[in-house]
Amino acid sequence: MGRLRRLLAPGRPKLVSLRTTFAVSFAAVTAAVTILVGILSYGSAARLVRVDQQSVFTQVVQDVRDEVRQHEMVPEDFSSSRPGHDLVRPARTDVQVLGAQGQIVDHGNPSLPVTSRDKAMALATTAGRVVQHKDVPVDGDVYRIATVSLGDGRGAVQVAQEFSDTEDLLRTLQQRTLILMAAVVVAAGLFGWWLARRITRRLVVLTSAAEAVARTRQLGIEVPVAGLDEVGRLGRSFDRMLGRLAQSEEDQRRLVQDAGHELRTPLTSLRTNISLLRRIDELPPATREELVADLTQEARELTDLVNELVDLAAGQSDTEPPQRLDLADIAEEVVGVAKRRTGREIVLRTSGDTTTDGRPGMLQRAMSNLVENAAKFDRDGKSPIEISITGPTRPGPVRVEVLDRGPGIAEGDLIRIFDRFYRAADARSLPGSGLGLSIVREVAMAHGGAPFAFRREGGGAVIGFTVGG
């Protein structure tokens, strides 16, 4: 939350929104791909068109050569007024006929230039000889020209193909390709912006919620984010996080309030007894002994209360790593310590697999609290206190029970005995803070289990918890 406030603090450079970044990135990638595809497509198309035109021209020239080699032909055979001339005049091909001296006897459309090399072909004695000219300007257009000799000095035929119109076509194609690419890039940018807005809309909601939490410090803000994708999962996780933080804050506030309330009683008693110490010389010896005993007892209870508050607030979850352990071994240690403290007989029964993953210190504290609670309420009992550790016969939780033959628990108190500082009416005269069973509940929940309590058949109570499962 502090990091978020630093990001939003004044004086920082304004960050580019994810929506803008996504849209620009989408447009940039689309532009790069479009340009690459456009260049490759235009290059391939231009190459194919040029190769195709060259192939057509080459084939026409070859047909003329074959024709004059196979038949003894004269210039009049290629006259535009002679039937059958279309055989050598395909589309976009111009034909011009030269006489024996290289003079033009049948003009092409348009007329083609005649060079000395063309005249030499008209005088050639061998039929089918060819001379070619590339990029010849004719009436503002560019042509490729091939002059084929008729043989025996009878003249020649000039075949020309317009080259400039192909280039004009390719230039038009190039312009249209550029226009199309620009249109695609603009459309990609707009689509990217729309898509980014749609995708980041829920992220904007999350950002607003986080900013509201940082600004108002109110953890109860609802996060209205739905969906099954990563953003939806993030929204639900964020909502659960806020809920847990709010619950933690409420628990902390309630703990402080309850602790303040519980601490007032021993502190008030201590102040009263301390004020009596000012007149201790005036008190009889028996009263002095009683006063000192009260002070000692109140100091011990206050120390226990503070220790339990610290344990409850810290939970010991951060200082003790979980490990594989056997609850039966921990219970044996608890039995040994409890026997020395209370002098009571304590019986341990175990069955099944009692191993689980947990924090040994926390679990030992929970079991000790249960045994001490049983000894406190069954102070004058003759029957032994029983500890039962039961492992599951199939995958499930390990069950820990402490059984006594004390006065039992009233029906209305069963659901409240694990609340912090709660003490039943018949237990308020006994020492204690009301935090012991609350710590048991925290330990059980920290280990994936739950506490339980019920009245024991034949008198007494059964209080315990489950671990794992």
Q: How many CB atoms lie within 10 A of CB 419?
A: 15
Token couple for 152: 């025996």
Kindly list the domain boundaries of the chain, sorted by start residue.
Answer: 16-71+163-213, 72-161, 219-314, 323-468
- The confidence band for 316, taking pLDDT boundaries of 50, 70 and 90, is very low
Is residue 164 predicted with pLDDT exceeding 90? no
Average pLDDT, the chain: 77
In Å, how far are 58, 158, 267 from 61, measured between CA atoms? 5, 9, 120
The reply to whether 219-314 and 323-468 are identical in fold is no
Is residue 428 predicted with pLDDT exceeding 50? no
The class level of CATH for 219-314 reads mainly alpha
Is residue 274 predicted with pLDDT exceeding 90? no
Is residue 155 predicted with pLDDT exceeding 70? yes
- Reported as a single tens digit per residue, the pLDDT across 225-265 is 666 777 777 777 777 787 777 777 777 777 676 666 666 76
Residues in the chain: 469
For residues 180-198, give the mean pLDDT.
80
For residues 441-466, give the mean pLDDT.
88
10 Å CB burial of residue 217 (0-12, 13-18, 19+) is: exposed
Asked whether the beta carbons of 130 and 144 are under 8 A apart, the reply is: no
Q: Domain 72-161 belongs to what architecture? A: 2-Layer Sandwich (3.30)
Token couple for 194: 């729309």
Is residue 329 predicted with pLDDT exceeding 90? yes
- Gap between the Cα atoms of 202 and 89, Å rounded: 69
Q: Domain 323-468 belongs to what architecture? A: 2-Layer Sandwich (3.30)
Q: Whole-prediction pTM value?
A: 0.44
Q: Give pLDDT, residue 212.
A: 76
Q: Give pLDDT, residue 72.
A: 85
Host H or E run for residue 135: strand 130-138
**Maximum average pLDDT range among 112-116, 183-187, 279-283:** 112-116
Q: Give pLDDT, residue 399.
A: 92
- Reported as a single tens digit per residue, the pLDDT across 361-417 is 888 888 888 888 888 877 676 788 899 999 887 788 999 999 988 877 777 777 777
- Gap between the Cα atoms of 185 and 166, Å rounded: 28
Q: Which of 406, 325, 324 is nearest to 371 (CA)?
A: 406
Q: Give pLDDT, residue 452.
A: 92
Q: Which residue has the higher pLDDT, 225 or 106?
A: 106
